[in-house]
Chains A and B, each alone.
Chain A
Amino acid sequence: MYSASDLRKGLKIELEGVPYDITEFQFVKPGKGQAMYKCRIRNLLTGGTQDRTFREVEKIGKPDLFDQELIFSYLHGDDFVFSDPETYEEVHIHKDVMGDRKWFIVEDMRVSILFHNGKAIDIQLPTFVEKKIVETEPGFRGDTATNVTKPAKLDNGYEINVPLFINVGDVVRVDTRTGDYSDRVSTGKKS
């Protein structure tokens, strides 16, 4: 258990079985009153945030959390199968836990998986992944503006907005946190 005075920004705590991350933290103590710890906490299972003020006397749960670095190996039905690069031990993660990250994972990608009570609850991908564009309206040569966009499809069917100069066959970098286009890595044209 944590004491309220252990709380700080970034600490992970557990309330009624749910793990939370403290995203904002403020020590408060009104004149003659007790010390309190105003926190904004983020539910690590749902991503939802809420405000909680803990009193000095409160004990706060310490979650059983651990991170493991794993490599994505293959798909097995609805499961993404990862393996430990050292032990080759396999870990199955259901596609529902993957969420939108399923679009950006590629074979041999090294990811960091967060387990709560032995159950995977969060997967962190590298910030950028390179993907090939397989479908989009033809590009306009010389139009290098990035604020005007058009729809495009990645090789796995994911729809993304890209600048007008992007063509089929181009490889682009996608931000895995937002699912947004970042920049172009190479063009599909042989020069």
Chain B
Amino acid sequence: MNPAATRLARLRARAGILQSIRGWFDDHGFTEVETPVRIAAPALEDHIDAEPAGDLYLRTSPELHMKRLLAEGMERIYSLGPCFRRGEYGARHHAEYTMLEWYRAGSNADGMLDDAQQLIRRVATEHRGEEPLMWNGCSIDVHAAWEHVTVADVFRRAAGWDPLASYDPDRFDLDLVNLVEPSLRTDIPVVLKDYPPEAAALASIRREPGRPPVAERWELYIGGMELANAYTELTDAAEQRRRFAACAAGRAARGKPVYPVDEAFLDALGAMPPCGGIALGVDRLVMLMTGAVDIGDVVAFRE
């Protein structure tokens, strides 16, 4: 196919994938929700920068508003739409990208994995039939059992240290991209789980006697590319406020903008039921399904 035809074929595939995604959520009793794109208080995270929009910011995620809807009694919700992250630009990053995010009341990180497996297998079946995904030189079977590895095990094996025993954020990030990610299997999806509590952001912490505490968080890698991030969501408003404050202090120390704390979210958090939540990069899912290795090849236009 010539490049112009390939481009149009990918855009058509993209539209089909969005339909497949909505189909899965329809079949599983989810309600699609739309939350504000311009927001006053983006979630405070160490390394996520929001794009200013007048007096407000473009959302970096629909997370805080979706959690308010859970607190109001919504049980299964999903959001499919644009999110914005300042300064992110590369073959796998676009400052304006399409995020799929969903929450399930009464569930947890493991429950979200069941959802993610079903959803991704359905999208793959509807777009690739029984064919494996062919992406970036990898042949990937999403229907085979997914590999589960813990952060502790994979870091010990690939980087020679255990971030759960002693956490060093800079070394963690560098070793993750240079040593750990390249060591992951690419023939089947890989679930990297049990993160250090310091890398939890909005996840709850699991404490078991005789073991270091871990964040109930997993990241999904397909073909070595990170595709989704899931949590057992933190429901403790006081703990959430402490984490936001620590993050705000860290951002201020690094000269990064500090966003206001979303008080409406913190007020609602006490009423939010235990739940699992997950965010998935739709552009990257389209890349995997169409074989495109640059995110710019699966969006209609890149400003």
Contact = CB atoms under 8 A, between A and B. Distances in A.
A33 B172 contact: yes
B45 interface: yes
Contacts, number: 59
Interface in A25-39: 26-36, 38
Given A32-B45, A34-B46, A55-B173, A27 B229 contact: no
B90 A33 contact: no
B167 interface: no
B118 interface: no
Contact of A53 (B47, B88, B177, B254): B177
A185 interface: no
Contact of B90 (A26, A30, A31, A56): A26
Contact of B229 (A31, A34, A57): A31
Contact of B177 (A30, A32, A57): A30
Interface string A4-48: 010000000000000000000011111111111010000000000
B133 to A, nearest CB: 20
Contact of B88 (A27, A32, A55): A27
A55 B170 contact: yes
B226 A57 contact: no
Interface in B6-53: 45-48
Interface in B151-210: 169-170, 172-174, 176-178, 181, 199, 201
A36 B88 contact: no
A181 B107 CA distance: 70
Contacts of A31: 219, 226, 229
B87 interface: yes
Contacts of A56: 47
Contact of A32 (B91, B92, B170, B229): B229
Contact of B173 (A5, A27, A30): A30
A74 B92 CA distance: 53
Contacts of B229: 31-32
B173 A36 contact: yes
B47 A33 contact: yes
A29 B88 contact: yes
A26 B91 contact: yes
B143 interface: no
B243 interface: no
A27 B93 contact: yes
Given A5-B87, A55-B173, A32 B254 contact: no
Contact of A38 (B48, B88, B89, B177): B177
B219 A57 contact: no
A28 B177 contact: yes
B226 A32 contact: no
Interface in A140-191: none
Contacts of B170: 34, 55
A35 B90 CA distance: 11
A55 B199 CA distance: 17
Contacts of B181: 30
Contacts of B45: 32
B35 to A, nearest CB: 21
A30, A36, A55, A56: residue with the most chain B Cβ atoms closer than 10 Å? A30
A28 B229 CA distance: 16
B16 to A, nearest CB: 26
A115 B170 CA distance: 36
Nearest to B255: A57
B178 A35 contact: no
B226 A30 contact: yes
Interface in B125-171: 169-170
B199 A29 contact: no
B193 to A, nearest CB: 12
Contacts of B169: 34
Given A38-B177, A53-B177, A32 B47 contact: yes
B275 to A, nearest CB: 19
A10 to B, nearest CB: 16
B173 A33 contact: yes
A11 to B, nearest CB: 15
B47 A38 contact: no
| Complex A-B, nearest 7 residue pairs according to Cβ-Cβ distance, in ascending order | A27-B90, A33-B173, A31-B229, A34-B47, A28-B177, A30-B176, A34-B173
Interface of B: 45-48, 87-93, 169-170, 172-174, 176-178, 181, 199, 201, 219, 226, 229, 254
Given A30-B176, A30-B181, A51-B178, 12 more contacts: A5-B87, A26-B91, A27-B88, A27-B93, A28-B92, A29-B47, A32-B45, A32-B48, A32-B199, A33-B173, A35-B87, A36-B173
